[in-house]
A and B are shown apart, each in its own frame.
Chain A
Amino acid sequence: MDSYFSILIIVGSFLVATMFPKFISLGLKGIALELVVIFIGLLLGKYFLNLINYSFFLSIEPLFLAALAWVGLLVGEQFNVEMLKKFDRKYYYFSFLEMFFPFIFVYFALLGFSKVVYMPVERWTTFLLLATLSVFTSIFHIYLNSKSKDIVANFLKFSSSFVIIIGIFVFQLILFLNHPVNTLFERIFSPVEWLAIMVFVGLLIGILYIFLTRPKLQNTELSVINLGFVLLIGGVSNIFFVTPLFLGEIVGMLLTNFSTKNDFFYGILQKGEKPAFLMILFLSGLIWMPGEDWHISIIVSLVYVISRASGKFFSGMVFGKRFLKIKKGGFIIDWTYLIPQGSVVLMLAVNYNLIYSDRESNFVLSVILLSYILNYLLGELLLTEENKII
Chain B
Amino acid sequence: MIKNLLFVLLFLFIFILLVSFMMLPQLSSLNAAGRFTMLSGFALLSAFIGGKLFSRFGFPKIVGYLVVGILYGPSVLKIFNHSDISNLNFVVQVSLGLIAVSAGSELKISEIKKTIGTVIKVISVHLAILPIVLGSLSFVLLKYYFSFTGGEIIIVSVLMGLVLTTASPAVPMAMISEFNLEGIFPRLTITILVIRDILIILFFSLILSISNNPENAWMPLVKISLSIGIGLLLGYLFSKFVSVFNSNSELFLIVFLLLIYKISIDLNFDYLILTLSIGFAIENYSTMGEKFLNIINQSSMPLYALFFSLAGASLEIDALHGIGFIALLIVIVRIVFLYISTYLPMKTVKTELNLKHYLFAGFVPQAGVSIGLALLLVNGFPQYKIIGELIIASAVFNEIIGPFIFKFAINQYNNEVN
Residues of chain A touching chain B, judged by Cβ–Cβ distance below 8 Å, are 3-4, 7-8, 10-11, 14-15, 18-20, 58, 61-62, 65-66, 183-185, 208, 211-212, 214-215, 220-221, 223-225, 227-239, 275
Evaluate whether A228 and B35 lie within 8 angstroms (CB atoms) in the complex, with A14-B251, A239-B30 already known. Answer: no
Chain B 79-92: CB-based contact to A (< 8 A → 1; otherwise 0): 00000000000000
| Residue from the set A11, A183, A239 with the largest chain B CB neighbour count within 10 Å | A239
B residues contacting the other copy or chain, number (CB 8 A):
43
Given A15-B247, A18-B247, are A234 and B37 neighbors across the interface (CB < 8 Å)? Answer: yes
Q: How far is the CA of A141 from the CA of B35 in the complex (A)?
A: 37
Closest approach, in angstroms, between the C-beta of A59 and any C-beta of chain B?
Answer: 8
Does B17 sit within 8 A of A, measured CB to CB?
Answer: yes
Chain A residues whose C-beta falls within 8 Å of the C-beta of B41 in the assembled complex: 227-235
Query: A10-B255, A19-B248, A208-B17 provided; 17 other pairs, C-beta below 8 A?
Result: A7-B255, A11-B256, A62-B40, A65-B34, A65-B37, A212-B10, A220-B301, A223-B301, A224-B301, A225-B45, A227-B41, A231-B37, A233-B41, A234-B38, A235-B38, A238-B33, A275-B248
What string of 1s and 0s marks CB contacts (under 8 Å) between B261-284 and chain A?
A: 011001000000000000000000
**Is B259 in contact with A232, judged by CB distance below 8 angstroms?**
no
B29 to chain A, nearest CB (A): 7
How far apart are the CA atoms of A221 and B298 in the complex, in Å?
11
7 contacts between A and B (CB under 8 A): A3-B262, A183-B26, A212-B49, A232-B42, A235-B35, A235-B38, A275-B248
Residues on A with beta carbons closer than 8 Å to the beta carbon of B49: 212
A58 to B34, CA, bound (A): 11
A243 smallest CB distance to B (angstroms) = 13
* Secondary structure type dominating chain B contacts: helix
Nearest neighbor of B7 in chain A, beta-carbon distance: A215
Inter-chain contacts of A221 with B (CB < 8 A)? 48, 52, 301
| CA–CA, A208 and B10, complex, Å | 10
A229–B302 alpha-carbon span in the complex (Å):
12
Task: Give the number of A-B contacts (CB < 8 Å).
Answer: 123
| B298 closest partner in A (C-beta) | A220
Q: Does B36 touch A at the CB level, under 8 Å?
A: yes
Q: Is the CB of A236 within 8 A of B38?
A: yes
Interface contact B251-A275, CB-CB below 8 Å? yes
- Give Cα A62 to B91, complex, Å: 12
Contact B258 A7 (CB under 8 A): yes
Residue from the list A3, A224, A235 in contact with B39, Cβ < 8 A: A235
List of A residues within 8 angstroms of B128 by Cβ: none
How far is A3 from B266 in the complex, measured between Cα atoms in Å?
A: 11
